[in-house]
């Protein structure tokens, strides 16, 4: 059996290793399209902070790791797929055949169609190559304009602050992290970063980026408000899109990402997908969802690989989890954090302690916790995750939590130990 894995990020690497354990004699080819050993994008902020060097981002550090496992590493970008003929065309013109295929090509940062977006001082923060460019421009005192205050935008702020830059963040939404945090939580994160000297402009976009005549400040960034901000570097963190171009005109069903079932198989038998590129069924609704975080990539890769090896494995359902460290303020959101309509059994509660930067929002459907947002409750987020992921039936604890939401750890201990408390 010959397994071809497209993409050598966390999903591709974990799938290859799982396959090797599950299918000791099969052929495994691991394709990567970047000129770097398999690495973790998660480590890029630490690289920019100077805490690690590039080798610190590598997913596997021991020399010969893949050779020892007889995982054949190949450099190549898939450009088209012939699903009937079971072969793929790569950018160097060669075809590769497969018996089982895993699509683990991740996603790429979106560059909005803004005049000037391709100037050299305008960078995304996604690859090692991006990190090298940012490191060149983001020198102490440099004026940096960051476009977007979403997940990646917040994560990289710490690294930018450590580099001593003067940072302005421009966000289209009405608050920071609008697609992951409640308005109250987004407002608290904003206040936190502003107190640390970051300028935040919400409800605004970038209309154009122009080179200035003089060399001392290369860019004039015009905002949708009409304001012009002078910047030495613009970092675009305006969202990502799955790498699926090579699947065009194939029978592999795609929506935002590649649609998979709970075995991580696509609409074409023998072709699987995992990680940031995959849209798998959500834990609660069954609707398909891209959950672009590394633990999710790892879980999906394991399940996909076991099925590729002929075993039976199923994903319980994706739970969207986002844990953010924004200049030292830890926030998290889980599941359906925005809640459920009252007519459909929805109820919610918020606890706000603005001065201590502590916040909790709990969202229920019937007596099950379906979503949560928290700030500053780092030591207990495991209990929140456990309640939501386990779909624990709270019984009388629901009313108690609606009155005293901070008692969620007690609820978790009390209810998760009762087998009957698990919802179907
Ligand atoms: C700056 C930053 C910070 C992050 N921080 C966190 C964090 O704190 N926590 C967290 O959980 N997640 C974090 N993430 C997200 C996390 O990195 C991703 O969820 C994870 O990398 C997904 O793994 P993946 O293997 O699916 O995709 P990727 O890591 O993107 O790997 C995909 C691979 O496929 C290759 N590829 C693409 N197209 C093709 C093609 N056509 N043919 C062959 N190969 C191809 C790519 O070059 C790449 O090597 C962060 C991401 C960034 C950018």
- Write the DSSP assignment of 188-211 as a string of letters: HHHHHHHHTT-EEE-S--EEEEEE
Name 131's Cβ contacts closer than 8 Å, sequence gap at least 6.
44, 47, 48, 125
**Dihedral class, residue 408 (left if φ above 0, else alpha if ψ from -120 to 50, else beta):** alpha
Q: Is 246 in the pocket of ligand 1 (CB under 6 A)?
A: yes
Contact 207, 223 (CB under 8 A): yes
**CA–CA dist 416, 39 (Å, integer):** 37
N-terminal to C-terminal alpha carbon distance within the chain: 37
User: CA torsion 285→291→295→297, rounded to 10°?
Assistant: 110
pLDDT of residue 193: 97
Atom 5 of ligand 1, nearest CA residue: 42
Place of tokens 């080798």: 55
Query: Bridge-partner residues for 100, per DSSP?
Result: 3
Contact 170, 146 (CB under 8 A): yes
CA of 242 to the centre of ligand 1 (A): 10
pLDDT of residue 419: 55
Averaged pLDDT score across all residues of the chain: 94
pLDDT of residue 418: 63
**CA–CA dist 113, 275 (Å, integer):** 27
pLDDT of residue 285: 83
Q: pLDDT tens track of the chain, all 424 residues?
A: 999 999 999 999 999 999 999 999 999 999 999 999 999 999 999 999 999 999 999 999 999 999 999 999 999 999 999 999 999 999 999 999 999 999 999 999 999 999 999 999 999 999 999 999 999 999 999 999 999 999 999 999 999 999 999 999 999 999 999 999 999 999 999 999 999 999 999 999 999 999 877 666 689 999 999 999 999 999 999 999 999 999 999 999 999 999 999 999 999 999 999 999 999 998 888 899 898 999 999 999 999 999 999 999 999 888 888 999 999 999 999 999 999 999 999 999 999 999 999 999 999 999 999 999 999 988 788 899 999 988 999 999 999 999 999 999 999 999 877 655 554 4
Question: Judging by beta carbons within 10 Å of its beta carbon (0-12, 13-18, 19+), is residue 413 exposed, middle or buried?
Answer: exposed
Q: Is 245 in the pocket of ligand 1 (CB under 6 A)?
A: no
pLDDT of residue 424: 44
Contact 258, 279 (CB under 8 A): yes
Coil, strand or helix: which one is 129? helix
Contact 17, 70 (CB under 8 A): no
What the block records as the tokens of 256 is: 């935002």
Query: Bridge-partner residues for 27, per DSSP?
Result: 2
pLDDT of residue 277: 98
Atom 30 of ligand 1, nearest CA residue: 106
* Number of neighbouring beta carbons within 10 Å of residue 337: 23
Q: Is 37 in the pocket of ligand 1 (CB under 6 A)?
A: no
For the stretch 18-31, pLDDT in tens is 999 999 999 999 99
Ligand 1 pocket test target in 73, 96, 125, 293 with most atoms within 8 Å of CB: 293
- Backbone φ and ψ of 227, nearest 5°: -65, 145
- Backbone φ and ψ of 281, nearest 5°: -65, 135
CA of 106 to the centre of ligand 1 (A): 5
**CA–CA dist 224, 243 (Å, integer):** 29
**CA–CA dist 381, 373 (Å, integer):** 10
pLDDT of residue 283: 85
pLDDT of residue 421: 52
**CA–CA dist 118, 130 (Å, integer):** 13
Q: Is 104 in the pocket of ligand 1 (CB under 6 A)?
A: yes
What the block records as the tokens of 126 is: 């996604």
Q: Which atom of ligand 1 lies at the shortest distance from residue 292's CA? A: 19
CA of 107 to the centre of ligand 1 (A): 6
Taking the complete model, does pTM exceed 0.85, yes or no?
yes
**CA–CA dist 412, 393 (Å, integer):** 10
Q: Is 142 in the pocket of ligand 1 (CB under 6 A)?
A: no
pLDDT of residue 215: 63
Query: Bridge-partner residues for 95, per DSSP?
Result: 89
For the stretch 206-228, pLDDT in tens is 999 998 776 666 899 999 999 99
* Number of neighbouring beta carbons within 10 Å of residue 268: 17
What the block records as the tokens of 137 is: 């421009």
Contact 397, 411 (CB under 8 A): yes
- DSSP states of 206-263 as a string? EEEEEE-SSSSS-EEEEETTS-EEEESEEEE-S-EEE--GGGTTSSS-BSSSEE--TT
pLDDT of residue 212: 79
Contact 217, 239 (CB under 8 A): no
Q: Is 109 in the pocket of ligand 1 (CB under 6 A)?
A: no
For the stretch 260-275, pLDDT in tens is 999 999 999 999 999 9
Query: Bridge-partner residues for 172, per DSSP?
Result: none
Q: Is 159 in the pocket of ligand 1 (CB under 6 A)?
A: no
Q: Is 152 in the pocket of ligand 1 (CB under 6 A)?
A: yes
User: CA-based Rg of the chain, rounded to a whole angstrom?
Assistant: 23
Ligand 1 pocket test target in 29, 94, 243 with most atoms within 8 Å of CB: 243
Contact 238, 148 (CB under 8 A): yes
**CA–CA dist 170, 185 (Å, integer):** 18
């Amino acid at each position: 059996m010959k397994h071809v894995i497209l993409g050598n990020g966390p999903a591709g690497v974990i799938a290859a290793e799982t396959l090797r354990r599950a299918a000791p004699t099969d052929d495994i080819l691991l394709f990567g399209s970047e000129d770097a050993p398999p690495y973790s994008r998660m480590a890029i902020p630490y690289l920019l902070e100077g805490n690690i060097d590039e080798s610190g981002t590598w997913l596997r550090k021991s020399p010969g790791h893949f050779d020892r496992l007889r995982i054949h590493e190949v450099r190549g970008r898939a450009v088209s797929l012939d699903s009937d003929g079971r072969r793929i065309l790569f950018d160097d013109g060669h075809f590769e055949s497969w018996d089982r295929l895993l699509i683990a090509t991740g996603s790429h940062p979106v560059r909005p169609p803004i005049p000037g977006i391709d100037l050299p001082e305008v960078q995304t923060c996604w690859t090692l190559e991006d990190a090298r460019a940012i490191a060149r421009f983001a020198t102490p005192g440099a004026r940096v304009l960051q476009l977007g205050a979403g997940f990646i935008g917040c994560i990289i702020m710490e690294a930018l602050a450590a580099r001593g830059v003067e940072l302005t963040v421009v966000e289209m939404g009405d608050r920071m992290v609008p697609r992951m945090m409640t308005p109250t939580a987004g407002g608290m994160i904003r206040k936190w970063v502003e107190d640390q000297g970051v300028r935040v402009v919400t409800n605004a976009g970038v209309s154009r980026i122009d080179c200035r005549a003089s060399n001392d400040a290369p860019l004039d960034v015009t905002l949708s408000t009409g304001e012009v901000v002078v910047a030495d570097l613009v970092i675009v963190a305006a969202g990502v899109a799955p790498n699926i171009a090579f699947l065009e005109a194939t029978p592999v069903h795609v929506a935002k990402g590649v649609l998979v079932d709970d075995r991580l198989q696509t609409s074409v038998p023998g072709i699987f997908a995992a990680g940031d590129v995959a849209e798998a069924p959500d834990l609660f609704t069954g609707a398909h969802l891209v959950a672009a975080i590394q633990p999710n990539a790892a879980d999906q890769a394991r399940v996909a690989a076991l099925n590729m090896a002929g075993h039976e494995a199923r994903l319980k359902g994706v739970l969207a989890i986002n844990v953010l460290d924004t200049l030292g303020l830890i926030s998290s959101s889980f599941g359906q954090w925005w809640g459920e309509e009252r007519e459909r059994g929805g109820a919610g509660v918020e606890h706000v302690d603005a001065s201590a930067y502590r916040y909790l929002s709990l969202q229920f459907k019937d007596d099950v916790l379906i979503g949560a947002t928290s700030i500053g409750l780092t030591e207990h987020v495991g209990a929140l995750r456990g309640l939501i992921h386990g779909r624990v039936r709270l019984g009388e604890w629901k009313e108690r939590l609606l009155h005293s939401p901070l008692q969620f750890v007690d609820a978790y201990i009390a209810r998760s130990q009762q087998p009957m408390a698990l919802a179907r």
